[in-house]
Amino acid sequence: MPTVLITGANRGLGFGFASLYLREGWEVIAPVRDPANATDLQALAKAHPGKLSIETCDLANFATIDALGAKLKGKPIDLLLGNAAKTNNPASTIGDTNYEAWMEAFKINTMAQMKLAETFVENVAASAQKKMFFLSSRIGSKPPAGMILFRSSKSALNQVVMQLSLLLKPRGIAVACAHPGFVKTKSTADMGVFTVDESAAHLKKIIDNLTVETGGQFFEPDGSTLPIVTRQMNPAAFGAKAPDAWDAQKKVWDKEGTKI
């Protein structure tokens, strides 16, 4: 029986994911900030005895991620599904930036996703499927103006996903991210194109087909892709290092034991 760890599974799309994976026979680990008040998850656990475990974890508190990692040490996790995010950021304008809220958005939407990957990488590596998948957003790279906090944190997440895919590919771990579509949830005031069940079903198809060869990409709900990061890789660009200079630099890094 495969295992998925889903953050933010107590409501919205995360709950849709948890329900879907349970119906398909998976074991689900659901870390939430307050298990005692996760009433919908508790009901779901009763409907699927022994298949859903509700754990304590607050993505804003990295010590709780470490604690969960210690508790799950040695347990194979086929899919690490980074769904939880900080979404209620103000539509900031110039002169109206809440820097404390911005730091919180980056900590939860970007840094905590990296922390999850680092904490559970051995669990994923020990599994049969070896996948990590993160919920990003097209909003990170398109107009209109506003929502600077959320947009920038999701753009940064895309870079994190790209780097994880490159670094973990030699271990056979596939890493990617996706836009879930405009989903009807509490954070969208129940406006949207997809229900949570529809969005979860679309994204699960992508995850099912994900391999190390197709990792490192930003997926649309229909399985098509968009550029995940700006690829500024012109070796002839003014001020760029020549290939032989890069080779020399890499030899220095290798000698020093620097991982790139």
pLDDT, one tens digit per residue, over 50-97 is 999 999 999 999 999 999 999 999 999 999 999 988 876 666 678 888
pLDDT, one tens digit per residue, over 3-15 is 999 999 999 899 9
Alpha-carbon dihedral sign for residues 20, 21, 24, 29? negative
In which band, very low, low, confident or very high, does the pLDDT at 260 lie, cut at 50, 70 and 90? very low
**CA angle 112-115-118, nearest 5°?**
155
Domains of the chain listed by start with CATH number: 3-232 (3.40.50.720)
Above 80 in pLDDT, residue 31? yes
pLDDT, one tens digit per residue, over 39-57 is 999 999 999 999 999 999 9
209 Cβ contact list (under 8 Å, min separation 6): 223
Q: What are phi and psi of 231, to 5 degrees?
A: -95, 90
Q: For 205-225, what is the mean pLDDT? A: 94
The residue type found at 155 is S
Structure tokens, 254 = 């290798």
Alpha-carbon dihedral sign for residues 215, 110, 196, 6? positive
pLDDT, one tens digit per residue, over 105-114 is 999 999 999 9
Structure tokens, 255 = 């000698």
Q: How far is CA 187 from the centre of its chain?
A: 18
Structure tokens, 236 = 């002839």
Higher pLDDT, 208 or 227: 208
